Structure 1
Amino acid sequence: MTTSWGTFPLTRCPADPRDPLRAWDAADEYLLNHLAETGTDLSGTVAVVGDRWGALVTALAAKDPGPGELVQISDSYLGRTATAENLARSGAAPDAVRMLTTQDPPPERIDVLLVRVPKSLALLEDQLHRLAPAVHEGTVVVGTGMVKEIHTSTLTLFETILGPTRTSLAVKKARLIHTTPLAATAPGVNPWPYRYELPADAPAGLAGRAVVNQAGVFCADRLDIGTRFFLAHLPRGLGRARVVDLGCGNGVVGLAVALAEPEAELLFTDESYQAVASAEENFRTHAGPGRTAEFTVGDGLADVAPGSVDLVLNNPPFHSHQATTDRTARRMFAEARRALRPGGELWVVGNRHLGYHATLRRIFGNSELVASDPKFVVLKAVKRS
């Protein structure tokens, strides 16, 4: 990526030379060019929210910011890992960027707020609410995104929570969002995290239970139909099995196992800090006193010892931000095979059209249809050796 402050080799995480997707796009370039062309004062505290692979902070770290601080706030473990790798590759000092998660307290004062518009409108709403107390009337607020990512609802959030908002002309199908913070703006109450009751006909002992969802978690305001279908067909009689809810989201799949299998050992893992926080709160609320589980934010099962797991349950995503891809699912399946003991099983739910049965056969050498309906399938693959 070439900017006014230098040229930077950037990769996504995990790095894959076969991956055609770049670690930056025209929205990142548009924002960086704007900051350089307008001579925006970056000498105070600069907070960068939603910087997907670290393109923004890597470029900004190359410019001497003076006495201020450069802060990145991210919900993504993989995004944070890519940021660290890209900063190191660019030669930035180890302390050039203070990296925070969306679960960490934000800076107390922000002089420049840069927002890469996320796919989740809920996550944007939550983050703007959390950051609003740190924004003052002199704060420069600039958002960026591709045209297809910026909607009237996006602008309404900036305007309602921070102040008057306008957009720029489109350049290479990207736009900027300019907001002028006003002390008189009353952002209202942050609706996140969101709590709701699971429906009365929810399967697997979950009916009527109240669950919590942090902003940005998949289907944060309801039980999605794919998960509902999966819950109705989970394996039973697991005994003391070590079970992983891989890509756990709010953790209702692992929670269902915990309720039905009192001896099972549970591990919840996701690359989203918001998701794992939701899963842990839901487990603590409903699993019962004395019941324990592991909760990990990380790169799938990369840190799980080979041959140490009996069962992996997975509802894999098929989007990476705005890109549709099965790369994440393939990695999850391969990691599951490595982590499983011989005879261990991976159970997957997915849309019928995604063809996961063929992917499982390539990785495991087998795939069995457990259940299906017109939209979804539940598949099982067994590690033979």
Structure 2
Amino acid sequence: MSSAAPGFPYERLRRRPDVEAPNLFASDAADRLLADLTGDAVLEPGLVVIGDAYGALTLAAAARGAHGIRVHQDALTGERALDANAAELGLEGTYEHRPLDDSLLRGARTVLLRLPRSLDALAEIATLIAEHARADVVVYAGGMLKHMTTAMNAVLAEVFGDVTASLARQKARVLTAREPHPAAATVLDRWPERSLDADTGLWVCAHGAAFAGTTVDIGTRFLLSVLDDAVPDARTAIDLGCGTGLLAAALAASRPDLRVIATDQSAAAVASAAATAAANGVADRVTVVRDDGLAAQPDASADLIVLNPPFHIGGAVHTGIAHRLFADAGRVLAPGGELWTVWNSHLGYRPALERAVGPTRQIARNPKFTVTASHRR
């Protein structure tokens, strides 16, 4: 099979508007292996790309001559990076963004997939492909070996009759799946899942790629334990980086006069948060927004912001996203408003919070986490 996109300038791809740093890259060996193994298959009608971090898969295919590529990226920053990289390389108009649903996969003949870390996310994607793609669809699912497990083969084998693995190259590998079983996929299609959290009495709903699924991660649970004390007279609140939206639902359920915005850059998180709000009967007071931080929110517009910030970017430990979210909160909080944040105590965020927002006091601390309130003057 011919080499894919000979001379494609992977080195010109950028991560912007996502965090850029010397140890963070816009493409990797798995992107290049996927492009090489698929070869001319990307030129056939019905090409779909899923999980393309910053556009490497999509644009390498477009550089070969592919058009009408349907692309789904969970992260909004990934979408915007793809658009910026396409403009830089003169490849605009070769693809279109789609949600993770039947409109993405209907009639798909070739699917390029970056394997997600979550097996639930992979299962949701696999079932959608099996239900809606062509019977002769071929799925090329690639990743770095350090992030791959044999359980991924098993997940694909639940809905595909033939799953094979490539030889490893530069610590990357590709799984190829054929012969989808739509009937099996229909039985396994369970998203969004939902579970009743016994401690809060609230339903948690989650699509496959949502962080923590239908469980409540321990940082969020610690913040929930003190949430009643967070700006009791607030009229407007934002659940920043909302994930499944449990904090937003808890605020809305306990404060009938509060208007809450739940925002996240993840498409799976936004869909999950909307389902969580609906399941708890507060959808009329929780507005769910897909956004890069708080870019869409006006200055000085919120009385309370709650935040459980990530400290990973992909597989790398990096606090860059947290610092950006702190800065966003400082801009969007109204005078007298507060940012309530839960963070791993070893990260020592308090000086950064004081710089970005204002005077910061400790609300609670346990062996792993600290909850602080940062006051906007």
TM-score for the superposition, normalised by structure 1: 0.90
How big is the shift at 1:15? 5.2
Query: Once the two structures are superposed, what CA deviation does each residue of 1:274-314 show, in whole Å capped at 9, x if it has no partner?
Result: 1112212222332458x423211010101211111111100
**Pairing 1:229-308 to 2, within 5 Å after superposition:** 229-234=222-227, 235-236=229-230, 238-288=232-282, 291-308=284-301
**Pairing 1:363-374 to 2, within 5 Å after superposition:** 363-374=356-367
**Residues 130 and 180 in structure 2, CA contact (< 8 A), matched pair in contact too:** no
How big is the shift at 1:185? 7.9
1:332 aligns with 2:318: no
Unaligned runs of 5+ in 1: none
Match of 2:99 in 1: 101
The whole-number CA distance in structure 2 between the counterparts of 1:16 and 1:193 is 29
**Residues 238 and 264 in structure 1, CA contact (< 8 A), matched pair in contact too:** no
1:82 aligns with 2:75: no
CA RMSD of aligned residues (A): 2.2
Change (3 A) 1:259 1:40: closer
Q: For residue 14 of structure 1, what is the amino acid of its counterpart?
A: P
**Pairing 1:77-156 to 2, within 5 Å after superposition:** 77-93=76-92, 95-102=93-100, 105-156=103-154
How big is the shift at 1:237? 5.6
Match of 1:63 in 2: 64
Query: Once the two structures are superposed, what CA deviation does each residue of 1:238-266 show, in whole Å capped at 9, x if it has no partner?
Result: 33521100001111111111122222221
Query: Once the two structures are superposed, what CA deviation does each residue of 1:92-127 show, in whole Å capped at 9, x if it has no partner?
Result: 13x310211225632321111111001222111101
Match of 1:11 in 2: 14
Match of 2:197 in 1: 198
Change (3 A) 1:119 1:310: same
**Residues 19 and 320 in structure 2, CA contact (< 8 A), matched pair in contact too:** no
Match of 1:33 in 2: 36
Q: Pick the aligned partner of 1:164 from 143, 162, 165.
A: 162
**Residues 136 and 181 in structure 1, CA contact (< 8 A), matched pair in contact too:** no
**Residues 42 and 112 in structure 1, CA contact (< 8 A), matched pair in contact too:** no
Q: SS of the counterpart of 2:158?
A: helix
Change (3 A) 1:182 1:131: closer
Unaligned runs of 5+ in 2: none
**Residues 195 and 213 in structure 1, CA contact (< 8 A), matched pair in contact too:** yes
**Residues 163 and 182 in structure 1, CA contact (< 8 A), matched pair in contact too:** yes
* Structure with more helix by fraction: 2
Change (3 A) 1:288 1:249: closer
TM-score for the superposition, normalised by structure 2: 0.92
How big is the shift at 1:35? 2.7
State the aligned residue count: 371
Match of 2:52 in 1: 51
How big is the shift at 1:364? 3.3
The whole-number CA distance in structure 1 between the counterparts of 2:189 and 2:20 is 41
Match of 2:308 in 1: 315
Query: Once the two structures are superposed, what CA deviation does each residue of 1:44-68 show, in whole Å capped at 9, x if it has no partner?
Result: 2111111111111011112223xx6
Q: Work out the percentage of aligned pairs sharing the same amino acid.
A: 32
How big is the shift at 1:80? 1.0
The whole-number CA distance in structure 1 between the counterparts of 2:74 and 2:125 is 10
